[in-house]
């Protein structure tokens, strides 16, 4: 007898979810956060993977704008429906 098991996948929390939740709570239209402010929210240093994860911000009502490596700031813009 062949028994087929159903495996349910749990939604894995993004490593940047704390940041996305903070943006959602903030509610401003267009603003910058320094790398240090982002790191304070997250509890760890941002790295190159941020470029991959930044698309997740749209699920929280924001998009990542300009990222200035020179000034060490990231721009966030509220999505317009």
User: Is the residue at 36 inside a domain?
Assistant: yes
pLDDT tens track for 4-61: 554 444 567 899 999 999 999 999 999 999 999 999 999 999 999 999 999 999 999 9
User: Is the residue at 8 inside a domain?
Assistant: no
User: Is the residue at 66 inside a domain?
Assistant: yes
pTM for this model (two decimals):
0.81
User: Is the residue at 2 inside a domain?
Assistant: no
User: Is the residue at 21 inside a domain?
Assistant: yes
Q: How close are the terminal C-alpha atoms of the chain, in Å? A: 53
User: Is the residue at 6 inside a domain?
Assistant: no
Structural domain that includes position 29: 17-78
User: Is the residue at 40 inside a domain?
Assistant: yes
User: Is the residue at 64 inside a domain?
Assistant: yes
- What's residue 12's pLDDT? 77
With a CB cutoff of 8 Å and minimum separation 6, the contacts of 9 are none
- Count of domains for the chain: 1
């Amino acid at each position: 007898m062949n028994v087929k098991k159903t495996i349910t996948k749990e939604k894995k929390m993004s490593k940047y979810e704390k940041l996305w939740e903070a943006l959602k709570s903030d509610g401003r239209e267009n603003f910058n956060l320094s790398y240090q402010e982002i790191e304070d929210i997250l509890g760890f240093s941002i790295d190159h993977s941020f470029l991959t994860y930044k698309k997740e911000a749209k699920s929280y009502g924001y998009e990542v704008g300009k990222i200035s490596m020179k000034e060490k700031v990231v721009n966030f813009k509220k999505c317009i429906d």
